[in-house]
């Protein structure tokens, strides 16, 4: 099942993507794709619906972030050994945690703003994990039971602010529009193994990232379990699980960074695609 949110920014409605790629309106069934709507019981209720019985949404509305009212946007750094190598950093012995501010969240095809005076804005295709029920001190064996589904995330990063203004990565990760999420929240029953998903990213048609979640240092179950030991996870919390190699910072012989007027396209097997245009922040 592919769930989504559509409509103007701040006024998104819940929807479902039918087998023909048409958006069906869920607003008479759930208030939003958020919170309690992500529980096993509610997802089972939505799965039992006949999509043809739901109103078809006309035209091509804006697609918003696939999850609403996100409480925490938790990210994992250096979670692919080859990305750690291109960053000239050691493979971590434990997950590296940082946060993106929820104000960074935007729709999967919204414009991405290049911060004022930025010369080092970079891209990162990542697997997103959406929590479906409260997780606290859960075992790795049980961890996937707490997942509602998966999505595509572009962990846009400003490297100067991330690495050259002290040690807090959060500063370079949380600019407005630096967290495109979606297009769909694909429920976990459709993803047989989250550790076997191909992923890619292009800038202006040039393929920079080609990877697979199978090369993660810490898999999804390990991450959910680990995070649940240092914080409780609530329904709608989003985990961005790290990026494979091919980021702009790692391009040889010289890094390549984003500037206004470019187009990023990225996707993950079974989870859909995003496309963003870069613009100067006003």
Q: Is the pLDDT of residue 86 over 90?
A: no
Report the number of distinct structural domains present in the chain. Answer: 2
Domain identity same for 12 and 108: no
Rounded average pLDDT over 106-132: 98
Is residue 68 in some structural domain? no
Tokens of 191: 């993803």
* Predicted TM-score (pTM) of this structure: 0.97
Nearest to 73 by CA among 170, 158, 144: 170
- Bridge partners (DSSP) of residue 154 are 125
SS (H, E, C) the chain: CEEEEECCCCCCEEEEECCCCCEEECCCCCCCCCHHHHCHHHHHHHHCCCHHHCCECCCCCCECCCCCCCCCEEEEECCEHHHHHHCCCCCCCCCEEEECCHHHEECCCCCEEECCCCCCEECCEEEEEEECCCECCCCCCCHHHHEEEEEEEECCEEHHHHHCCCCCCHHHHCCCCCEEECCCEEEHHHCCCCCCCEEEEEECCEEEEEEEHHHECCCHHHHHHHHHHHCCECCCCEEECCCCCCCHHHCCCCCCCCCCCCEEEEEECCCEEEEEEEEECC
Is residue 213 in some structural domain? yes
Return the number of other C-beta atoms located less than 10 Å from residue 42's C-beta. Answer: 18
Is residue 156 in some structural domain? yes
CA dihedral 113, 6, 153, 266 (to 10 degrees): -80
Q: Is the pLDDT of residue 53 over 90?
A: yes
Domain identity same for 33 and 105: no
Domain identity same for 38 and 164: no
Domain identity same for 49 and 156: no
pLDDT bracket for residue 88 (50, 70, 90) = confident
Query: For residue 269, what pLDDT is reported?
Result: 98
Query: For residue 117, what pLDDT is reported?
Result: 96
Is residue 66 in some structural domain? no
Query: For residue 81, what pLDDT is reported?
Result: 85
Query: For residue 84, what pLDDT is reported?
Result: 80
Domain identity same for 183 and 216: yes
Range of the domain at 24: 2-53
Query: For residue 89, what pLDDT is reported?
Result: 79
Q: Is the pLDDT of residue 65 over 90?
A: yes
Residue 117: give its domain's CATH number: 3.90.850.10
Q: Given the structure tokens 């187009």, which residue do they identify?
A: 263
Domain identity same for 86 and 222: yes
Q: Is the pLDDT of residue 104 over 90?
A: yes
- Per-residue pLDDT reduced to its tens digit, 7-46: 999 999 999 999 999 999 999 999 999 999 999 999 999 9
Domain identity same for 36 and 87: no
Is residue 58 in some structural domain? no
Query: For residue 152, what pLDDT is reported?
Result: 99
Domain identity same for 115 and 84: yes
Domain identity same for 30 and 111: no
Tokens of 6: 């559509």
- Per-residue pLDDT reduced to its tens digit, 152-208: 999 999 999 999 998 889 999 999 999 999 999 999 999 999 999 999 999 999 999
Query: For residue 166, what pLDDT is reported?
Result: 87
The average confidence (pLDDT) of the chain is 97
CA dist., res. 213 & res. 126, Å (int): 9
Is residue 153 in some structural domain? yes
Query: For residue 50, what pLDDT is reported?
Result: 97
Domain identity same for 98 and 206: yes
Query: For residue 113, what pLDDT is reported?
Result: 98
Domain identity same for 87 and 44: no
Domain identity same for 23 and 145: no
Is residue 59 in some structural domain? no
Is residue 98 in some structural domain? yes
Query: For residue 83, what pLDDT is reported?
Result: 83
Rounded to 5°, angle at Cα 28 from 26 and 31: 75
């Amino acid at each position: 099942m592919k769930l989504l949110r559509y409509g103007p920014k701040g006024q998104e409605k819940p929807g479902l993507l039918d087998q023909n790629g048409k958006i069906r309106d869920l607003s008479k069934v759930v208030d939003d794709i958020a919170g309690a709507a992500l529980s096993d019981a509610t997802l089972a209720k939505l799965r039992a619906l006949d999509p043809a019985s739901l109103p078809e949404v006309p035209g091509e509305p804006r697609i918003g972030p696939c999850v609403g009212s996100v409480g925490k946007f938790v990210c994992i750094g250096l979670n692919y050994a080859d990305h750690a190598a291109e960053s000239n950093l050691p493979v971590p012995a434990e997950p590296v945690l940082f946060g993106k501010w929820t104000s960074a969240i935007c729709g999967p095809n919204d414009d991405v703003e290049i911060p004022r005076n930025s010369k080092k804005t970079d891209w990162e295709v990542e697997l997103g994990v959406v929590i479906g029920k409260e997780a606290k001190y859960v075992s790795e064996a049980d961890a996937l039971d707490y997942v509602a589904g998966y999505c595509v995330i572009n962990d846009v990063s400003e490297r100067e602010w991330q690495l050259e203004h002290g040690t807090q990565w959060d500063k370079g990760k949380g600019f407005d529009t630096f967290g495109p999420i979606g297009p769909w929240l694909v429920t976990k029953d459709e993803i047989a193994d989250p550790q076997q998903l191909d992923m890619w990213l292009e800038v202006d048609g040039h393929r920079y990232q080609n990877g697979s979640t199978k090369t993660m240092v810490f898999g999804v179950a390990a991450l959910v379990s680990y995070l649940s030991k240092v914080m409780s996870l609530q329904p709608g919390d989003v985990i961005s699980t790290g990026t494979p190699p091919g980021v702009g910072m790692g391009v040889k012989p010289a890094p390549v960074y984003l500037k206004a007027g470019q187009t990023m396209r990225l996707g993950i097997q079974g989870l859909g695609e995003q496309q963003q245009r870069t613009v100067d922040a006003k």
